[in-house]
Chain A
Amino acid sequence: MKEEIIIAGFGGQGVLSMGKILAYAGLISEKEVTWMPAYGPEQRGGTANVTVILSDSKISSPVLNTFDTAIILNQQSLQKFESKVRPGGVLLYDPHGISSPPTRTDIAIYTIHAMDTATEMNNTKAFNMIVLGAFLKIKPIVDIQAVLTGLKKSLPERHHHLIPMNEKALQKGFDVVQKA
């Protein structure tokens, strides 16, 4: 198994932390993992993105040109990364704020109304976990239990009471993801 993922959106949407939780879940599932953020000007007030690779064997390049999966959370990132999904790959995006949706026909496109769902749940901070839940429904490369353990590892103890809320958000993402 080898899954190469790009997660991209606005800074502040939890793009980097979503990637981190996924990476921790990979670590717990005894997979090889790399997490490579764009730490440059993108992060400073524009779009943020992170490349996460989970693999059964040693990972060579942490920097990639094309991906198995793109998780896209804003219009700029959609423009930048739609063409970078490998044929047969997956593009998962939140239609909120997307004016020109993806057009490719050689990849599987899914939508997750994470922004709306988070608002309904009265918890906008759960946004990225809803997206992560949606991704894991499409590609169950790690199980939810590993994600929750990963969450425990990446969150400071004072935030551990938030884990049940995050679990709910993951489940919600699982339930509401749709094939476009």
Chain B
Amino acid sequence: MEEVQLMKGNEAVAHAAIRCGSDGYFGYPITPQSEIMETLMAERPWETTGMVVLQAESEVASIYMVFGGAATGKKVLTTSSSPGVSLMQEGISFACGADLPCLLVNVMRGGPGLGTIQPSQSDYFQSVKGGGHGDYKLITLAPASVQEMADFVELGFQLSFKYRIPCMMLSDGVIGQMMEKVVLPPFKPRRTQEELLEQCPWAATGKTEDRERIVITSLDLDPYRMEKKNEERQSRYRLVEATEVRYEEFMCTDADYLIVAFGSAARICQNAVESLRAEGIKVGLLRPITLWPFPGKILAKYAEKVRFMLTVELNAGQMVEDVRLSVNGKVPVYHYGRMGGIVPTPEEVSTAFNKYL
């Protein structure tokens, strides 16, 4: 049996990255996710698996190091927190325009601007609506436990490489900083160059006699070709929307009311649901695990049965817009949130819920 360990979500990301055979990590320290690079530096994977760990001079540099690594088909990642992820937006848009797979992790803190260093979920829009320019999407995974922060590293890479869409793990200060039990994924060797050539024929690996030159770029001055490229990309987005939606239901089957929350807010809401249930109120919790693709269909289904929905987010109301779009006016959708790094307690959620009863 695999060893059960106790560690922070941030530390789990670092260990999982080494274990799943990542080729490189490029980052710049920022609270509340600095433990990721600290753990990687302490583990020294360059001496064991050969994984590169590099502290870049800024987040702008680290995202372009990721772009470079990804262009050669390598499994590369960067991690940061809200202000740092804002700096990366241009590079993220470029990676999407060049259809490069990579893993990005945002351990969100309060904003806007430098904001605070405490937990927040106010980068939902930035992640799922495109924080940079152009028609693009990021596969966005929202972990709600240390175990999921570990598991979503490999899942993120798999999805990203399968569809050639960058994947964002959207975590927050609560999940990154808390310690919980975790079973780390088993060790998997890094891909050999032969495996890479076979699995990533699109990668810039050096021209050989037997094939055409590969150019990785997001630029094409011919608008007709550019539209074709966009259409092909959009068709992949439709495929992801049709096949990769993930969510978790908690006490939903007989629910008269539904709370919708992701990440740390979902953990808090689960506690609130338990105490509301103890009072005899039939409330359930739906936790989107993929924020894009968004679990809109299941919400539309619940809109047929429940009296109202309440989204609870550590922000001013962002995911609530997607929930409203999904239920299309069938039931009222309310929002409760705290901002600036304040994390609501389960009691606050119950009180907010009871206002609408």
Residues of A within 8 A of B (CB): 20, 23-24, 27, 32-37, 39-41, 59-66, 153
Contacts and interface: CB of A to CB of B under 8 A. Distances in A.
Given A40-B118, A65-B348, A34 B268 contact: no
B6 A23 contact: yes
B181 A39 contact: no
Given A61-B267, A63-B343, A40 B6 contact: no
Given A20-B179, A34-B180, A61 B270 contact: yes
A100 to B, nearest CB: 26
B339 to A, nearest CB: 15
A62 B267 contact: yes
Contacts of A60: 267-268, 270-271, 274, 346
Q: Give the most central of A35, A36, A65: most B CB within 10 Å.
A: A36
B116 interface: yes
B179 A39 contact: no
B39 interface: no
A34 B348 CA distance: 21
B6 A63 contact: no
B267 A24 contact: no
Contacts, number: 72
15 contacts: A23-B6, A23-B179, A27-B181, A33-B181, A36-B174, A39-B173, A40-B118, A60-B268, A60-B270, A61-B345, A62-B264, A63-B174, A63-B267, A65-B345, A65-B348
A85 to B, nearest CB: 14
A65 B267 contact: no
Contact of B174 (A20, A27, A59, A62): A62
A27 B183 CA distance: 12
B193 to A, nearest CB: 38
Q: Give the most central of A35, A62, A64, A65: most B CB within 10 Å.
A: A62
Contacts of B6: 23-24, 27, 33, 35, 153
Nearest to B250: A60
Contacts of A41: 117
Contact of A63 (B116, B274, B345): B345
A66 B271 CA distance: 13
Interface in B96-130: 116-118
B177 interface: yes
B4 interface: yes
Nearest to B176: A39
B268 A63 contact: yes
Contacts of A33: 6, 179-181
B117 to A, nearest CB: 6
Q: Give the most central of B181, B267, B270: most A CB within 10 Å.
A: B181
A37 B267 contact: no
Interface in B338-356: 341, 343-348
Interface string B163-195: 000000000011001111100000000000000
Contacts of B49: none
A37 B177 contact: yes
A37 B174 CA distance: 9
B230 interface: no
B4 A27 contact: yes
Contacts of A27: 4-6, 181
Contact of A34 (B117, B173, B178, B341): B178
B317 interface: no
A39 B31 contact: yes
Nearest to A20: B179
A153 B8 CA distance: 15
Given A60-B274, A61-B345, A61-B346, 12 more contacts: A27-B5, A35-B180, A36-B177, A39-B32, A59-B180, A61-B271, A62-B180, A62-B267, A63-B174, A63-B264, A64-B346, A65-B345
Contacts of B116: 40
A65 B177 CA distance: 18
Q: Give the most central of A24, A35, A66: most B CB within 10 Å.
A: A35
A97 B70 CA distance: 57
B341 A35 contact: no
B283 to A, nearest CB: 14
B172 to A, nearest CB: 11
B11 to A, nearest CB: 12
A39 B177 contact: yes
A179 B5 CA distance: 36
Q: Give the most central of A41, A63, A65: most B CB within 10 Å.
A: A63
Contacts of B344: 63
A40 B5 CA distance: 25
A66 B348 CA distance: 12
A151 B179 CA distance: 16
A91 B92 CA distance: 50
Contact of B346 (A32, A36, A65): A65
Contacts of A32: 181
Contacts of A64: 345-346
Given A61-B267, A62-B267, A64-B346, A40 B178 contact: no
